[in-house]
Amino acid sequence: MAAHLSYLRADPYAVRLHCYVDTPFTVTWLFARHLLWLGLNRPTGMGDVRVRPGHGRDRGWIFLCLDGADGRAVLRARARKVRRFLEQSTRIVPLGTEHQHLDLDAVIERMLSIN
C-alpha cells in the first residue's frame, strides 16, 4: 500500500497519513505529530494508532499500526524519511509553539458542524 504524510500549519498538533488502497478512495488517518516523534525511539500510542521503531534486521524502519472498523494495517517507513518529514514540520511550526498557530475559531466551527 502506498502512503504519504502531510502537515498543515492550520492544524499544528496533527499529522495526516494518506493511504492509497485498492479502491477509488484515499483513506486518511489523523494523529498527533508528537506520536511520530516518540515512535522513532520507542513504542508509543494506544488505541487505533501505534508507532514503534524497528529492531534487529528492521533497524532503520518505523512501523505504524492502524486499527479500524474494517481491520488492521501495519505500515513501515524509513525512519530517516519520517525524521526528515518531522524536522520539516518543525520549521513550519516549532515544537512547543503549536498553540500559537491554532485557529480556535476554525476548530469550534468544525466541531459545531459535526452531526
Per-residue pLDDT band at 17 (split at 50, 70, 90)? very high
Q: What CA–CA distance (Å, rounded) separates 19 from 114?
A: 23
On the question of pLDDT at 115 being above 70, the answer is no
Element (H, E) at 26: strand 26-32
Give residue 91's pLDDT: 94
Q: What's the grid cell of residue 40? A: 522513532
pTM: 0.82
Can you identify the CATH homologous superfamily of domain 2-113? Sporulation-specific cell division protein SsgB (2.30.31.20)
Asked whether residue 37 carries a pLDDT value surpassing 70, the answer given is yes
Domain boundaries, the chain: 2-113
Report pLDDT digits (tens) over 52-110. Answer: 999 999 999 999 999 888 788 899 999 999 999 999 999 999 888 888 887 778 778 87
Q: What is the DSSP letter of 19?
A: E
Task: Reply yes or no on whether the pLDDT at 1 is more than 70.
Answer: no
